[in-house]
Structure 1
Amino acid sequence: NRHLMFLQMPFNERNDYINAVQVPGYRGKDNFVATQWPLEDTVVDFWRLVNDHDVQHIVLLEELTLQILPESGKTENFGGIDVYCKETEQNDTLVSYTVHFPEDTAEVVYMNTNTEETSVTVQNISVVMLKTPLTNQSIINIRSKLGLSASSTSTNCTVVCTYVNIVTPVQWLTLHNCRDGAKLCGLFIAALNILDMVDAENEVDVFYGVQQIKVVRPEFVQSQEQFLQLYDLVKTYLKQKNHSKPN
C-alpha cells in the first residue's frame, strides 16, 4: 500500500484515486510511475497525475486506443485540464511529442533601471509512444531518446499500458487474449533499471533487478520468456556499447 499513488489537489469534485503505483529506479528512489491506460472518463485523472506529481517523461507502450493526447500543435481540454501537444519526431517504431499545461505557463518579469522584459517559462513533458512490440532495440531507443540513465537528474517517468485485472474465471475466459499491461510495464521498468546497473557497475544481476520492482507489484515480469528477454537485452546493449567505443 505504501507504493500507491493518490491525486493531490481537489478537482471538480473528483476523488483522489488513480490506478497507479510508484516503482523504484536503480538506486532505490521512486523514479517511475506505472499506471493503466485511462478510460474515457478517467483521462482527466491521468493528466491530474502528471500535473500533481511533476512527471517529466511519459512512455506509452501501446498505440493510442483512446485519445489522450491532443492533435499536434493544438490545445485540448480534458475534463477541465488544458493540455497542449506537439509532435516532434516520428519513425517506424515510435512517435515523440512535447506536452505542457498552458494554464501553468508563468510570466516572469525582469526589471532594471531602464527596461522591463517579460519572459514566459514552460515546463515541457517529453512523451514517447511505441508503435511496435516492446523489443530490446525499442527499449534501448526509448531510453536514449528520453535521456533516462543512472546519471540522469530527471527520471520522473510515467509508464502507461493496458492493465488486465482478472478477478474471476469467467473474466479470464473473456480476457485471456488481452495483453497484460502489468507485465508490459514491469518488463520496461526492469529493463531500464538493469541497463542503469550495467552502466554504473559494469556488471549486472538480472534477478535482483526484477525482484526490486516485484516487491511493489508481484505481477511484474512473471514469465521465463521475459527473464530471457532481459538477459538478451543486456547482451544487445553491451554489444552496441562496446561497438561505439573509440578504438
Structure 2
Amino acid sequence: MSYSKPRNDYINAVIIPGYTYDSKILVTQCPLEETVVDFWTMVYDHNSSIVVLLDQLNRKTPLWLGRQEVLQFKDFTIVQDNSPNPEELKLILSHKEKDPMSITVFTTSKVNNDAILPSNVLLDLLKKVTECWKIQKGPITVVCSDGCSKSGIFVALKLILEKMKIDDEIDVFQVVRTMQVRRPEFFTEFDQYEYCYRCIKEYLENDSVYANL
C-alpha cells in the first residue's frame, strides 16, 4: 500500500489465518539486499508489530543496525532501541509521511541456519511471542531462510496449540493441510511432522511451564 517508485506491491510472502480473532501470521523468507524495503513495507502496511526471526540474516542484508544506529532506505527509517535483551529487540519503524510504529523482534541465540531448534527452545520462543501478542495483538511476521521450513514448523505449532485450546483436540494433519493451501512447500519432510509431535508431547508434559501458550 505504501510502496514507492520504481517498486511494485509484490513480496514472496503468504498470510496464514489463525483460529482466533486478529491472529493471522505473515510468513516470508530472509530478505535479499534489494528486497529489504519490501519486507519493511509489508510489516508496516499490515501493522505487524511482532517479528520472529528463525534464521541468521545475510550479513550484507541487515534489517536494523546496532543500538541507537539509524538504518535508512527509501521512505523508511529503522532505529534499534537500547534493548537489554538481544533475543527480544525493540525497533522503531518510521515512514516519512506516516506515524512511526514499535516493533519487537524475537529470536534466539540457538538460531542456526543448518539445524532446527531444540523443541524446548522453540516452545520457549513461542511462549514469549504469545505473551507479547496478547498485549500488542495484530499480525505476527515469521521469517526463515527459505520462508517455509522452520517458519512452517513454528506457525504449525502455534496454530495446533491455538486450535487445541478451542476444540480440545490435536489435529496436526488438518492444520498443516490448511497451511499448505497457502504455501505447498510447508511440511515436505516426514521429520517435520515428527518434530511437531515431539514438541506437542513436551508441551503436554510441561503444561504448567507453558500455561500461557
8 Å contact kept, 1:63–1:129: no
Alpha-carbon displacement from aligned partner over 1:136-186 (angstroms, at most 9, x marks no partner)? 2222112221225997771411111112xxxxxxxxxxxxxxxxx422221
Q: 1:199 aligns with which of 162, 165, 168?
A: 165
Question: SS at the partner of 1:9?
Answer: coil
Q: 1:73 aligns with which of 68, 77, 94?
A: 68
Q: Distance in 2 between matches of 1:143 and 1:105?
A: 34
| Matched length | 203
Letter of the structure 2 residue corresponding to residue 145 of structure 1: K
Larger radius of gyration: 1
Counterpart of 1:154 in structure 2 is: 137
- Displacement of 1:64: 2.4
Q: 2:176 aligns with which of 182, 200, 210?
A: 210
Q: 1:85 aligns with which of 48, 66, 80?
A: 80
Q: Which has the higher contact order (CA 8 A, sep 6+)?
A: 2
8 Å contact kept, 2:3–2:38: no
TM-score by length of 1: 0.72
Letter of the structure 1 residue corresponding to residue 187 of structure 2: V
In structure 2, relative to structure 1, the CA distance for the partners of 1:141 and 1:104 (3 Å cut) is farther
- Displacement of 1:105: 10
Aligned 1:219-234 pairs, distance under 5 A:
219-234=185-200
TM-score by length of 2: 0.83
- Displacement of 1:85: 1.5
In structure 2, relative to structure 1, the CA distance for the partners of 1:152 and 1:39 (3 Å cut) is same
Alpha-carbon displacement from aligned partner over 1:76-117 (angstroms, at most 9, x marks no partner)? 102341011133413xxxx111112244798xxxxxxxxxxx
Q: Distance in 1 between matches of 2:46 and 2:88?
A: 21
Q: Which runs of 5+ in 2 are unaligned?
A: 111-115
